[in-house]
Amino acid sequence: MSEHTERDDRDDRTETDRPAADGSRSRDRDALTDGGNVTTPFDVVSEYEETRQDRYRKLYDAYIYAPVSIVWRDWRARIGFSIILLYILMGTVGTWIIEPTTVAEGPALAQPFETMEYPLGTDDMGRDLFSQMVHATQGMLKMIAAGAVFTVVAGTTIGAIAGYKGGTTDSVLSSITDIFINIPGFPLVMVLALLLPIGGNPYLVGILLCVASWGGLARAIRSQVLTLRQESFVEAARSMGIPTRKIVFKDIVPHLMPFVVINLTNAGRRVIFEAAALYYLGILPFEDLNWGVTLNLAYNGGAHYRPEALHWFLVPMGAIIFISIGLILLGQSLDRVFNPRVRARHEKMSADAAENIDNDENPTNTIGGL
Amino acid sequence: MARVDWRVRRLAQTGFTVWAVTTLSFVLIRLMPGNPMGAMVRQLESQGVDPVRARQLVELRMTIDPDKPIPLAYIDYMGSMLQGDLGQSTYYAAPVTEVLAQAMPWTLFVLSWSLFISFFIGISVGALMAYWEGGKLDVGITSWAILMGSIPFYVLAILLLIFLSYRGGYFPTGGRQPTGIPPGFNWPYIKGIAYHATLPVASMLVASGIASLGMRGNSIRVLGSDYLRVARLRGLSDATISTQYVARNAVLPMYTTLLISIGEMFGGSVVLEQVFQYRGLGYYLYSAINQRDYPLMMGGFVLITVAVVIALLIADLTYGYIDPRAGGQNDESY
């Protein structure tokens, strides 16, 4: 405030314009500011005070509340989440509650729903199929998690960098990607499964199953980035001198999030499919019964031509199909969280605080979504 | 220095890929536990043949020497491969090229039909779903697509086999051609082949579910674009917008997916052909892995690899024509 007093005497304006206390500038200077009682731009203070709590609430709204409420409004999300949650419960709590099954626990090939003791029936050695399914879940979930994370991290990183950088980087990364795409994935996994001593570790099996499959994602991401890197916002960021790493992961990759998320769930599904196939063919060594092993035993037990053994096939198939329905639904609904159009609609609705939430269910009756 | 055309570089890259895959699979297969010689010796011994005599017999039949150091074996193999000789199958006692050459057309036959039909269904259904996003049709077809996408193709294959072959008796339970009919261009034989291929092709149709979901996602992303708003304001008809604007832009990622899925389907043929006992490429690959038949395994790998590499090369060379935005291969200035 001391600078104001120096200039007090030169002030020729009256107190009608502003409080007398800081009336200190010429008309020219007034034109630069908007006539407020601020002399330098550094004195500007927001008229609202934002406490730390407010800031946390905003972050919470943006990153937790909005996604969750968008997701929850979608029927797919509700079903998908419930299914996955059910499997997680089966893999954790279920293994405590349900006792592991043994040979000759019950009669051979009891039909499903015959007795409450064996709700899904038994196989030809009298093992409870329900218990087999529950106890296989934990290992399967570990495989899925390991495989999905590996695929998405490797695929997105390599694809985005290759597509954006171009030149030599692209050539080198694309060559590596090409090799992995071109190696016939499933046969390679078959060979590796025989070669590597990974039999019992579900995390390693999960990663092994995805060893050849990140290439497809990397290539798809690269092709998307190739089209995105010509966009104006990327060019703007580049001309502002923002480092490449930031442009790729802060500006470009978020645009591909729907794609990446769908691939996350796809990778999970692939792990289940391939694991079950490898166990079904008898290529991965059995240690415990899991869904694929049960399929293998059923096939070898001739369940495909013995009508009374049909459920032996259907139960593990059901377990595989059901979790994969859950994964697809989840992927679809998470896609909506990252979709800017859905997000914008959500924000508009929150602002209106309107009750007509149902509108969200069929937002784009008009063709082209406009 | 004159800039080398990117197509030339892409061709060189393709050659490099084939070489790298061949080398990698050679090393991997060599590192596999259990060698074919030991397996055959043990097999003969279990039939009561004297161990020394068994070893001599096997050495007579084998054209490869499993005790040879890997680098030497590698040079030999690459040399003969360049001359189109993939060695002698130890299990089938026939040249690998012969075994694979008679299997290849069957696999290609099933795969091409599966790919064509499933992508045709997937792309058209996906576009329809995106068009009426959120409508009743979308919800209905989404459920169908999700179900299709959730079924592994081999599970569908087993189910079809159980219900349509073993129970219904409509289709043969295995094999690839009718028995007792001389091969040739006669109607019963062709009909028999079609019957044998129907279930394998049908099981691969699960891919259409995933393709349609992918297409739906792509289309919806395109639907948010400004240029569609402009197209609408210009008063273009819905038909023009949907075919010229939405479909063209949404189909591009599908094109890559399509060509990549060729490789996956080749891999999947191992399981599929095992389920249907369909003697194609995958059937022989599986039997080669089980029998530790190195030359046949290598041959199968190389054959599949070359097929996929060519498909991807086609994808790259035609990419710029399909989407001019991605045609910047010769403008890599960043």
Which of A5-9, A276-280, B89-93 is predicted least confidently? A5-9
Global pTM reads 0.74
A229·B309 Cβ contact <8 A: no
Q: How confident is the model at residue B307 (pLDDT cuts 50, 70, 90)?
A: confident
- Selected for mutation to probe chain A from B27, B104, B150 (highest A CB count within 10 Å) is B150
H helices of A166-290, in order, are 167-182, 185-195, 202-209, 214-228, 232-239, 244-246, 257-281
pLDDT at A272 over 50: yes
Q: Does A364 touch chain B (CB under 8 A)?
A: yes
Q: How confident is the model at residue A87 (pLDDT cuts 50, 70, 90)?
A: very high
Query: What proportion of chain A, given as a percentage, has pLDDT over 70?
Result: 75
Tokens 């400004």: give the residue. Answer: B226
Cα–Cα dist A171/A181, whole Å: 15
Cα–Cα dist B76/B70, whole Å: 10
Query: What is the structure's pLDDT at A357?
Result: 37
Query: What is the structure's pLDDT at A364?
Result: 33
- Rounded to the nearest angstrom, the minimum Cα separation between A26 and chain B is 48
ipTM value: 0.75
pLDDT at A340 over 70: no
Mean pLDDT, chain B, integer: 77
Maximum mean pLDDT: which of A28-32, A196-200, A329-333, B160-164: B160-164
Cα–Cα dist B323/B251, whole Å: 10
Question: Which pLDDT tens digit goes with each residue over B246-263?
Answer: 777 777 777 767 776 777
Question: Which pLDDT tens digit goes with each residue over A117-148?
Answer: 777 778 877 788 888 888 888 888 999 999 99
Q: Is the dihedral of CA A36, A42, A43, A49 positive or negative?
A: positive
- Rounded to the nearest angstrom, the minimum Cα separation between A76 and chain B is 10
Which of B85-89, B109-113, B215-219, B270-274 is predicted least confidently? B85-89
pLDDT at A349 over 70: no
B228·A335 Cβ contact <8 A: no
Q: Give yes or no for a contact between B198 and B164, defined as CB atoms under 8 angstroms apart.
A: no
Higher pLDDT, A38 or A6: A38
Query: What proportion of chain A, given as a percentage, has pLDDT over 90?
Result: 5
Q: Does A271 touch chain B (CB under 8 A)?
A: no
pLDDT at A185 over 60: yes
Question: Which pLDDT tens digit goes with each residue over B62-77?
Answer: 555 656 677 787 887 7
pLDDT at A293 over 50: yes
